């Protein structure tokens, strides 16, 4: 009798699981039978994050362009390798000697890859006052030499070769620099008049010397930012096309900054002079021998867990690229994009993941040449769920109504029942994260859609409904 009862339970559970899967798959098929999506390439997988059991699968091993959900891989790897308490270290020191309050030599700043200097995400980081105080405490009131910025620990490409022209001039196309500052973007402030009229640039912040802007932005009835900046990191010429709303006394857009180290040097020079330290030399990018260097102060960034939360909540491409390059330096003594990618690939291969399921060209997902499978992303999520860093990583992902999930309804996903990273580019939409189902089962999910012709807002709403179905049926 007991055996029959257990058998009956197994049968009930089996058919219940099949029914749940059929309902979700049916909802998925309804979505992608629509004309705007029927020719899209789609991948969808849901797994029980505790057991690894696959619950739903549609092309889970196929490779898709991920957009920003690739940040899950980059941030998870950095957290596992570097640790939550890791800090980027910037060293300030000198060459030569100090005699009678005069530095007979150069002031040197060694880059440690810190992405947070003057960052809009860390406005309380008033570090220059401390630097000047430390320089003065070292007995320096005059610098007879120059200011040297040494970023030689890193190989700076200026820009990854697979990023597109339409992205690199805009703020989200700002790339790694050994001396990143102000999130490597500057703000352009416009004044707009009547519809159809050329707008006026009234200021830029911070001020970048020798910047030349060709403004072709027109005032429009459309109440949104449709202005795009074009320009390379190799020069200070910028072209801006598109539209902004009409009748604005001030309307701001953001553009990637050329030569961030130059601005950093100017800011430090100004602080030195304001701090009553005599300086009449120049600022250079140059490599210094360690044996010639005398340390004055070591500046520490915020901890990695805080940086990663900003990275995933706000989808900051620049922070992801810094983590990628810095992983190469920490693990292989090679601070480059290529070395960082190798570190990530090797890390997950050692964890048993299929190395053929991930091809990276950057750390942020901005390149259209990145490809990854839904299954790979879910295995990363499963690993992180079981990691000692699980709470930190999971909390770095936005919940419904927050960050990049701001449009998802809190009523449908109360509390923190949904934690996920989104990714979007033209005709690409992806979501990957964790979901607490109504049955109290915890699942990891990834949905990836490439080459659809509908609107981003419509596909976002449809995916929300699909995740509601998963939540109810599992």
Confidence of residue 252 (pLDDT cuts 50, 70, 90): very high
Question: Is the predicted pLDDT of residue 425 greater than 50, yes or no?
Answer: yes
Q: What pLDDT does residue 4 have?
A: 53
Q: What's the rounded mean pLDDT across residues 48-54? A: 96
Q: In what order do the strands lie in the sheet with 200-205?
A: 200-205, 185-191, 251-256
Chain CA centroid to CA 46, Å: 25
Bridge-partner residues for 253, per DSSP? 188
Distance separating alpha carbons of residues 323 and 78, to the nearest angstrom: 7
Confidence of residue 13 (pLDDT cuts 50, 70, 90): very low
Q: What pLDDT does residue 2 have?
A: 56
Tell me: the pLDDT tens digits for 177-204?
999 999 999 999 999 999 999 999 999 9
Question: Is the predicted pLDDT of residue 297 greater than 70, yes or no?
Answer: yes
Please name the residue that has the structure tokens 């932005």. 217
Is the pTM for the entire model greater than 0.75?
yes
Of 217, 208, 265, 212, the residue nearest 244 (C-alpha):
217
Q: What pLDDT does residue 14 have?
A: 45
Distance separating alpha carbons of residues 54 and 47, to the nearest angstrom: 4
**In the chain, what percentage of residues exceed pLDDT 70?**
96
* Kind plus residue range of the DSSP H or E element containing 79: helix 71-82
Q: How far is CA 349 from CA 31, 346, 379, in A?
A: 34, 5, 12
Q: What pLDDT does residue 28 have?
A: 85
Confidence of residue 405 (pLDDT cuts 50, 70, 90): very high
Confidence of residue 75 (pLDDT cuts 50, 70, 90): very high
Confidence of residue 454 (pLDDT cuts 50, 70, 90): confident
Distance separating alpha carbons of residues 197 and 200, to the nearest angstrom: 10
Q: What pLDDT does residue 1 have?
A: 53
Q: What pLDDT does residue 3 have?
A: 55
Going by DSSP bridges, is the β-strand pair 418-425/54-58 parallel, antiparallel, or unpaired?
Answer: unpaired
Q: What pLDDT does residue 31 have?
A: 80
- Residue, of 1 and 211, whose pLDDT is higher: 211
Distance separating alpha carbons of residues 242 and 240, to the nearest angstrom: 7
Distance separating alpha carbons of residues 420 and 441, to the nearest angstrom: 16
Q: What's the rounded mean pLDDT across residues 390-402? A: 97
Overall residue count recorded for the chain in this entry: 474
Confidence of residue 329 (pLDDT cuts 50, 70, 90): very high
Q: What pLDDT does residue 36 have?
A: 82
Q: What's the rounded mean pLDDT across residues 161-171? A: 96
Is residue 47 exposed (0-12), middle (13-18) or buried (19+ Cβ within 10 Å)?
Answer: buried
3-state secondary structure of 6: helix
Please name the residue that has the structure tokens 């830029």. 204
Q: Mean pLDDT lowest for which of 242-246, 337-341, 432-436, 462-466?
A: 462-466
Confidence of residue 5 (pLDDT cuts 50, 70, 90): very low
Q: What's the rounded mean pLDDT across residues 156-183? A: 95
Q: Residue 329: CB partners within 8 Å, gap ≥ 6?
A: 113, 153, 154, 335, 339
Residue 396, φ and ψ in degrees, nearest 5? -75, -15
Distance separating alpha carbons of residues 25 and 31, to the nearest angstrom: 10
Distance separating alpha carbons of residues 213 and 263, to the nearest angstrom: 18
Q: What pLDDT does residue 158 have?
A: 84
Q: Residue 399: CB partners within 8 Å, gap ≥ 6?
A: 405, 413, 415, 416, 417, 418, 419
Question: Is the predicted pLDDT of residue 17 greater than 60, yes or no?
Answer: no
Residue 252, φ and ψ in degrees, nearest 5? -115, 140
8 A C-beta contact, residue 135 and residue 96: no
Q: What pLDDT does residue 319 have?
A: 98
- Residue, of 167 and 19, whose pLDDT is higher: 167
Distance separating alpha carbons of residues 299 and 184, to the nearest angstrom: 19
Of 153, 302, 447, 332, the residue nearest 344 (C-alpha):
332
Q: What pLDDT does residue 114 have?
A: 98
Q: How far is CA 33 from CA 59, 431, 452, in A?
A: 16, 20, 12
Question: Is the predicted pLDDT of residue 9 greater than 50, yes or no?
Answer: no
Upstream peptide bond of 206 is cis (omega within 30 degrees of 0): yes
* Mean pLDDT for all residues in the chain: 93
3-state secondary structure of 285: strand
Q: What's the rounded mean pLDDT across residues 272-301? A: 94
Tell me: the pLDDT tens digits for 412-423?
999 999 999 999
């Amino acid at each position: 009798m007991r055996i029959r009862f257990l058998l009956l339970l197994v049968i009930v559970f089996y058919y219940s699981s099949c029914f749940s899967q059929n309902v979700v798959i049916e909802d998925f098929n309804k979505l992608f039978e629509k004309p705007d999506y029927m020719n899209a390439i789609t991948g969808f997988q849901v797994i029980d994050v505790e057991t690894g059991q696959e619950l739903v699968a549609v092309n889970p091993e196929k490779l898709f362009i991920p957009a920003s959900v690739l940040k899950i891989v980059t941030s998870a790897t950095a957290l596992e390798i570097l640790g939550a308490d890791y800090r980027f270290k910037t060293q300030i020191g000198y060459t030569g000697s100090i005699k009678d309050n005069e530095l007979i030599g150069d002031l040197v700043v060694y880059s440690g890859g810190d992405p947070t200097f003057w960052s809009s995400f860390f406005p309380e980081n008033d570090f220059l006052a401390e630097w000047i105080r430390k320089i003065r405490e070292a007995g320096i009131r005059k610098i007879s030499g120059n200011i040297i910025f040494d970023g030689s620990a890193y190989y700076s490409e200026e820009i990854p070769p697979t990023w597109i022209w339409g992205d690199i001039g805009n703020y989200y196309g700002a790339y790694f620099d050994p001396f990143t500052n102000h999130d490597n973007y500057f703000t352009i402030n416009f004044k707009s008049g009547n519809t159809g009229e050329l707008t006026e640039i009234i200021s830029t912040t911070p001020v970048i010397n020798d910047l030349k802007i060709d403004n072709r932005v027109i005032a429009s009835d459309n109440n949104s930012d449709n202005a795009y900046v074009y320009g390379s990191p190799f020069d200070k010429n910028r072209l801006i096309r598109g539209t902004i709303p009409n009748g604005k006394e001030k309307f701001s857009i953001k553009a990637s900054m050329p030569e961030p180290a130059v601005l950093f040097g100017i800011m430090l020079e100004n602080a030195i002079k304001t701090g009553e330290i005599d300086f009449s030399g120049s600022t250079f990018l140059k490599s210094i021998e360690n044996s010639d260097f005398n340390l004055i102060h070591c500046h520490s960034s915020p901890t990695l867990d805080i940086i990663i939360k900003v990275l995933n909540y706000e989808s900051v491409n620049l922070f992801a690229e810094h983590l990628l390059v810095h992983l190469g330096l920490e693990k292989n003594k090679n601070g480059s994009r290529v070395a960082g990618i190798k570190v990530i690939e090797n890390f997950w291969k050692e964890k048993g993941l299929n190395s053929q399921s991930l091809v990276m060209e950057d750390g942020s997902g901005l390149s259209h040449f990145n490809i990854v499978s839904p299954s790979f992303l879910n295995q990363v999520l499963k690993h992180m769920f079981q990691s000692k860093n699980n709470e930190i990583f999971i909390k770095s992902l936005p919940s419904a109504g927050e960050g990049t999930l701001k449009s998802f309804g809190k009523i449908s996903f109360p509390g923190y029942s949904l934690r996920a990273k989104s990714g979007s580019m033209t005709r690409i939409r992806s979501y990957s994260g964790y979901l607490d189902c109504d049955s109290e089962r915890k699942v990891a999910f990834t949905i990836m859609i490439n080459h659809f012709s509908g609107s981003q807002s419509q596909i976002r709403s449809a995916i929300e409904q699909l995740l509601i179905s998963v939540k109810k049926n599992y």
